[in-house]
Amino acid sequence: MSRLARGPDGGRPEASRQQLVTIAIDCFARHGFQGSSIDRIAKAAGVTKGALYYHFRDKEDLLLEAVQNRIGEFERHVVEAVAASEDAQERLKRVVDACFFTATASNHRRFIITLMVEALDTNPRLSDKFRMVLRRMRGFLADVVTAGQRRGTLRTDVAAADAAALIAGTIMGAEIQHYQDPNEVDLRRVLDAHLQQLADWLARPAGTAA
Amino acid sequence: MSRLARGPDGGRPEASRQQLVTIAIDCFARHGFQGSSIDRIAKAAGVTKGALYYHFRDKEDLLLEAVQNRIGEFERHVVEAVAASEDAQERLKRVVDACFFTATASNHRRFIITLMVEALDTNPRLSDKFRMVLRRMRGFLADVVTAGQRRGTLRTDVAAADAAALIAGTIMGAEIQHYQDPNEVDLRRVLDAHLQQLADWLARPAGTAA
Amino acid sequence: MSRLARGPDGGRPEASRQQLVTIAIDCFARHGFQGSSIDRIAKAAGVTKGALYYHFRDKEDLLLEAVQNRIGEFERHVVEAVAASEDAQERLKRVVDACFFTATASNHRRFIITLMVEALDTNPRLSDKFRMVLRRMRGFLADVVTAGQRRGTLRTDVAAADAAALIAGTIMGAEIQHYQDPNEVDLRRVLDAHLQQLADWLARPAGTAA
Amino acid sequence: MSRLARGPDGGRPEASRQQLVTIAIDCFARHGFQGSSIDRIAKAAGVTKGALYYHFRDKEDLLLEAVQNRIGEFERHVVEAVAASEDAQERLKRVVDACFFTATASNHRRFIITLMVEALDTNPRLSDKFRMVLRRMRGFLADVVTAGQRRGTLRTDVAAADAAALIAGTIMGAEIQHYQDPNEVDLRRVLDAHLQQLADWLARPAGTAA
DNA sequence: TATGAATGAGGATTCATTCAT
DNA sequence: GATGAATGAATCCTCATTCAT
pLDDT digits (tens, 9 = 90+) for D56-107: 999 999 999 999 999 999 999 999 999 999 999 999 999 999 999 999 998 8
Q: Is C14 on the interface with D (CB under 8 A)?
A: no
Q: Is C130 on the interface with D (CB under 8 A)?
A: yes
Could you say which of B114, B165, B190 has the minimum Cβ distance to residue A177? B165
Q: Can you tell me the mean pLDDT for C74-81?
A: 95
Give the pLDDT score at D75. Answer: 96
The share of chain C scoring above pLDDT 70, in percent, equals 90
- Look up residue C114 and give its amino acid: T
Are B179 and A120 inside 8 Å of each other by CB? Answer: yes
Q: How far apart (Å, rounded) are the C-alpha atoms in residues A73 and A110?
A: 14
Residues of C in contact with D176 (CB under 8 A): 116-117, 169, 172-173
Q: Which residues contact D34 (CB under 8 A, 6 or more apart)?
A: C32, C34, C35, D118
Q: Which residues contact B53 (CB under 8 A, 6 or more apart)?
A: B38
Q: Can you tell me the mean pLDDT for A164-188?
A: 97
Q: Is C140 on the interface with D (CB under 8 A)?
A: no
Angle of CA points C74, C77, C78, to nearest 5°: 90
Q: How far apart (Å, rounded) are the C-alpha atoms in residues B188 and B174?
A: 9
Give the pLDDT score at B2. Answer: 43
Write the pLDDT tens digit of every residue in B119-154. Answer: 887 888 889 999 999 999 999 999 999 999 999 999
Smallest Cα distance from C131 to chain D, Å: 6
Chain B residue with minimal CA distance to A181? B131
Picking from D7, D114, B163, the residue whose alpha carbon sits closest to that of residue C114 is: D114
Could you say which of D35, D134, D190 has the minimum Cβ distance to residue C165? D190
User: Which SS3 state, helix, strand or coil, does residue A154 take?
Assistant: strand
Write the pLDDT tens digit of every residue in B79-88. Answer: 999 999 999 9
Please check whether strand E approaches the CB of B2 to within 7 Å. yes
Smallest Cα distance from C47 to chain D, Å: 24
Give the pLDDT score at A208. Answer: 63
Picking from C156, C120, C161, C115, the residue whose alpha carbon sits closest to that of residue C137 is: C161
Q: Is D14 on the interface with C (CB under 8 A)?
A: no
Give the pLDDT score at D124. Answer: 85
Using CB atoms, list chains with 3+ pairs below 8 Å to chain A: B
The pLDDT mean for chain A works out to 89
Q: Which residue has the higher pLDDT, C4 or B209?
A: B209
- Whether the per-residue pLDDT at D3 is higher than 70: the answer is no
Residues of A in contact with B37 (CB under 8 A): none
Chain B neighbours among A 166-185 (CB < 8 Å)? 166, 168-174, 176-177, 179-181, 184-185
Are C168 and D166 inside 8 Å of each other by CB? Answer: no
Q: How many beta-carbon pairs under 8 angstroms link A with B?
A: 144
Chain D residue with minimal CA distance to C195? D166
Give the pLDDT score at A10. Answer: 42
Q: How far apart (Å, rounded) are the C-alpha atoms in residues A93 and A96?
A: 5
Beta bridge partners of C203: C154
What predicted TM-score, i.e. pTM, was given to this entire model?
A: 0.87
Write the pLDDT tens digit of every residue in A34-50. Answer: 889 999 999 999 999 99
Please check whether strand E approaches the CB of D2 to within 7 Å. yes
Give the pLDDT score at D125. Answer: 86
Q: How far is the CA of B1 from the C1' of E2 (A)?
A: 19
Write the pLDDT tens digit of every residue in A16-31. Answer: 889 999 999 989 988 8
Smallest Cα distance from A197 to chain B, Å: 6
Are A176 and B114 inside 8 Å of each other by CB? Answer: no
Cβ within 7 Å of strand F: which of B 77-106? none
Q: Is D193 on the interface with C (CB under 8 A)?
A: yes
Are D180 and C121 inside 8 Å of each other by CB? Answer: no
Please list, residue by residue across D32-64, b when 16 or more beta carbons sit within 10 angstroms of its beta carbon and e when fewer do.
Answer: bbbbbebeebbeebebeeebbeebbeebeebbb
C118-123 contact pairs (CB < 8 A, 24+): C118/C32, C118/C33, C118/C34, C118/D32, C118/D117, C118/D118, C119/C33, C120/D32, C120/D110, C120/D114, C120/D179, C120/D180, C121/D30, C121/D31, C121/D32, C122/C33, C122/C34, C122/D31, C122/D32, C122/D35, C123/C33, C123/C60
Angle at which helices B15-35 and B59-83 pack, to 10 degrees? Answer: 100
- Look up residue D196 and give its amino acid: Q
Q: Do chains C and D touch (3 or more CB pairs under 8 A)?
A: yes
- The torsion angles phi and psi of A203, rounded to 5 degrees, stand at -60, 145
Chain B residue with minimal CA distance to A189? B162
Residues of D in contact with C174 (CB under 8 A): 165-166, 169, 173
Please check whether strand E approaches the CB of C25 to within 7 Å. no
